[in-house]
Structure 1
Amino acid sequence: MHDSSTGTRHPSTAERWAPYVYFVVGQLGWFACVLSAARDVPWMGVATTIVLLAVHLARVERPLQEFKLLVSVLVVGAIWESVPVATGLLEYPNGIVFPGIAPDWILALWALFAAQFNTAFGWLKQRMLLASVLGAIAGPMSFRAGAALGAVRFAQPWPATIVLAIGWAILMPVMILLSRRWDGVH
């Protein structure tokens, strides 16, 4: 909406609710990936994520920019997630395509997570320290939740938690920088 008397643009109701919708959809996608992996049908979570990402790319202003973000975060995630697998800190019972590399459903989660940086997590773009702290806390918590649901096992719980916390404290600001560079939403 545009206010002609002041020359300012006011966000529509849909724009105001979009961050919340993206957060909820992201959580639903997380559950789809984790629960399907825990039930030995990880392709279901991957397929769900592909549909959610296709809808996301179809509705953004600059799909190519957003696609670049999704791919770059997916590559970062693929490299990072393979470290705790290759070092034996984490074990995934399902979805492993190549030994020593993160499973396909985790990579799908990274792409889904990337779609939230210019939507649900846009408020973090100017708060790098907070992003780092949130990453250090929420990253390991997400893995703990996945372990509780049976999608991942902590082979070495304390070292894995520490490595995940450090990694996510670094990765969240990196992903925010990537989302600043490739923002297809705003």
Structure 2
Amino acid sequence: MKTLVYVLGETLGWFACVLGAAGNRHWLGVVVVGGLLTLHLGTHGERAVRRIVALSLIAILLGFCLDSLLILGGVYEPVRWIVPPPFTTVWLLALWVNFSLIVDVPLRRLQSHLAVAAALGGLFGPIAYLAGQRLGALRLAEPAVYSLAALAVAWAVGMAVLMLAARHLPSFGSSRTVPGR
């Protein structure tokens, strides 16, 4: 049941960010993901909060670097809000925070299986961007097959890096054990 709640929250955050950007209501995703993060922080002990915040900050940094490189490389162009090109936008960074919230529960096993994490990132990352394009939040460069291939590589690396970072982050003394330790 706990996993279902996390997945529903992640899905809600994704749609809020993407549909908000597509509808020129970029703030919607930021508000929804901010609420999900606040709820997440409020339901965990003080020590777990440090881990959640650290993982969210790592996701923001990773997302900023990966998405900005993809934008700079001409792979795709998101609907813009606040941050000028070639850097990624605020709503995309909110998506990274949103994604970081599922790393320790539904995706916890991937922290010990980096090759599987990379394969899943390489498969589902491009699908998410393709869905974002169909909903009007971004535009993939043509030919789309090359853009999707670049996204697959970026998300394979990104997923592995995020799971590796989560695996090595301390649990800050909580009773939860960190996979791979």
Aligned residues: 170
Counterpart of 1:111, as a letter, is: V
Aligned to 1:12: none
The aligned residue for residue 112 of structure 2 is 126
Indicate whether 1:174 and 2:125 are aligned: no
**Structure 1 residue 179, shift from structure 2 partner:** 1.2
Q: Does 1:60 align with 2:44?
A: yes
Q: Trace 1:37-56 onto structure 2 (pairs within 5 A).
A: 37-56=21-40
Moved more, 93-102 or 48-57: 93-102
Alignment of 1:80-91 (within 5 A): 80-91=66-77
Q: CA deviation at 1:96?
A: 4.6
SS in 1 for 2:118: helix
**Aligned residues with identical type, % of pairs:** 32
Runs of 4+ in 1 over 4 A off after TM superposition: none
Aligned residue type for 2:6: Y
> Which amino acid is the alignment partner of residue 167 of structure 1?
A
Cα RMSD, aligned residues only: 1.5
Unaligned runs of 5+ in 1: 1-16
What is the aligned partner in structure 2 of residue 76 from structure 1? 62
Please give the TM-score of this superposition, normalised by the length of structure 1. 0.86
Bigger CA radius of gyration: 1
Which residues in structure 2 correspond to 1:1-186 (within 5 Å)?
Answer: 17-61=1-45, 62-156=48-142, 157-182=144-169, 183=171, 186=176
Contiguous gaps of at least 5 residues in structure 2: 177-181
User: How far is 1:93 from its partner?
Assistant: 2.3
User: Is this contact kept in 2: 1:92–1:103, CA < 8 A?
Assistant: yes
Question: What does the per-residue CA deviation read over 1:161-182, in whole Å, with 9 as the maximum and x for residues that have no partner?
Answer: 1111011111111111111123
Further displaced range: 91-100 or 163-172: 91-100
**Equivalent residue, structure 2, for 1:4:** none
> In 2, Cα distance between the equivalents of 1:123 and 1:23?
15
* 2:25 maps to amino acid: V
Do 2:60 and 2:93's aligned partners in 1 also have CA atoms closer than 8 Å?
Answer: yes
